[in-house]
Structures are given as C-alpha cells and as structure tokens.
Structure 1
Amino acid sequence: MCTYMKNIAGYKMEHFKGKRFYEVKEMFDNVYKQVTSFVPMDSVMEKERTKRADEISQEDLQQMIMVVPVEEVYVEALQVKYLIIDWEVYSEDTRKYWKIIRLRNHTEAYQTFDDMLKKFDRDDMDKLWSLVKERFSSTDPTNDKERTLWVKLKRLFEPDTDDILWKLQKYMHDPLT
C-alpha cells in the first residue's frame, strides 16, 4: 500500500512513520477511491454534466449578470507607486523595523535591508538615500537600525576604497598576485 501511494499520489516515507496499519489503510482507501473514480473527459458522464450546464435558462443568466453604471465604479491603476516622503525606526516588542512612509499615508515595514532591496526600484533607493543623508547631515545615527541603514546606503551610493567591504570585494574578483 505504501509503495502504491508513493508512486501514485506522491507520498513520502515520512508520511507513514508512526502510523498504525488502519491509519495507512484509510489513506490508501482515499487514494484508491480517487484513482478508481476518475472519469475521462470524453466519457458519457462528462457529456451529461456539460449538457446540464448548457441548459441554464435566460432568466437565471439575467440574475447572474449585474450591470453596474460606470460612474459608480472607482477605477485605480493596479500598480500605483507612491513616492517615499519619510522613514523612521519602528519597534514592536523586541524587534525593530524600518518604517517607510509614502505619499497618501501608505507605510511599509522592513526588518532586513535585503527585503527592502527586493521591493524597491532605483527611484525609491535614490529618494531614501537623500532622506537619510539629510537626516544625518546634522546628527549622528543613534541606534543600530539607523546606523545599519546609513552604512548600507552609503556603501551603495558612495563606494569608499578604504571600506573593508570594498577591499574584500576587490580580492574576491581580482586574483592575488
């Protein structure tokens, strides 16, 4: 039974560990019932089922269709992109996040810089870098999240040959002589 279910239904041996015979038999019966009750598309039963579906009356069809006047529908583009206007460090319990605030009060929270990079495009990164530079032009970063954001963005936008990251990158791509 286990071999049959592995080959037919894609079960793995972990599914059967710790199970009693009657539990495995129940699983087998379900799989076997699915296999034996399979109905090919061109069978008689399928044709009867489609006939019944085609026999929907015009009245039923009218009840299913609801016409909505155009002025009642509010249409907004599917991919609306709002500009970043501010950011802050947001803490929830013991975790800290970067809270990105966009126009029209849309906010997003990111715990790692990599998640932020996946979601942002070049314009977002430019705007965030300008906001971070502006904030830290007069003050220094006070907590780890602020410092991390400052360092990561600075490494992206202002590469420094003395920075240890750039030194390591150089040795990774240039063979030592």
Structure 2
Amino acid sequence: MALRTLTPKQALEEVDARRRDGRLDSARDMAAQIVEQAPEFGPALHMLGLVEFERGETVAGEALMRKAIRLLPDSAEARANLGRMLTRAGRYREASMRSRAPSHRTRQCLHRRLLATTLLSWARREMDAGRLAEALAGFSRAEQLDPYFAKAHTGKGFVLYMLGDWPGAFREYEWRW
C-alpha cells in the first residue's frame, strides 16, 4: 500500500492493523516512513514507539514514546503505554508516576477549579453578609473560570432571585438543560 495515497489517519490505522495482526516488521517500516516524512507528528511517534516496544526494542520504544508524550502532553493513551513499558521493565515507581502525571492543561484546569471554588466561598460569605452585588460578581467570576461549575450557577441564580431578576435566576438554574 503506497503511503502517499493515504491520509495520516488511514496510514496510522494501517500501521495499527499490521501491528495487531502480528506483522511487526511491516508495521515498523510503515510507521518509520510516516515519522521520516513528519518527524514531529506525535501520533506516528506514539505508534512507532509501540511497535518498537512490541518488537523487543524496549529502549527505542520508550524513547519514541517519551518524544510522543512531549508532542502530545494530553494523550492518556501514550502515557498509559509508557507506563506499561516501564512496568514491563520492572520500573514500577516510575511507571506509576509517568502514566498518571497530569499534563500542563490538566494542571491549568485544576488550578481554575480551585480558584473558582475559592471565589465561590467568598461569594457565599458576601451573600450571607447582604452584599449581593459583590456576591453576584464573585459567582459570575467563578462561572467564567469554570463554565460547568454547577454551584457557581446555582449561587448566581440565588442572588439574581434575591435581587428580583427572576428570568435571570431561572436561566442560571436551568443552564444545563
């Protein structure tokens, strides 16, 4: 099958099919061609690393998988495969850390949720003290940080209800529907 007639996705699917069929040398050759044409294509590096590992080239497979993870920091599959490689090599502690290490984006999301939770607590105190404008601002900011934070929507809806903005309050209560 000529590589240039396939899309990148089709080429990777073909490599994976060959790998699953046990044709590891053929899968390796095709994956290497893809990487040669696009050396920074993370999915191809991931697949080549997996094939190399299954061929018994553990050092090369691990190096390729690490490079793929640098290019695809949010790829849970690549992290899981690296963890599997490290486990098979007897490096259990590193396998545990590497396969679960959160990406930069995951850490950002956790930071945003923590900040939104802090703002939520502050907004509730403002609401309890009767400072509704400040509470509304706090709930709104928490909602901006994490649009799917139900407690921020509920708090904002409650403040809008207390301010007499019933349509706005119901919009916040029904935001998920």
Please give the TM-score of this superposition, normalised by the length of structure 2. 0.23
- Higher CA-based Rg: 1
Q: Please identify which structure carries the higher helix content.
A: 2
Please give the TM-score of this superposition, normalised by the length of structure 1. 0.23
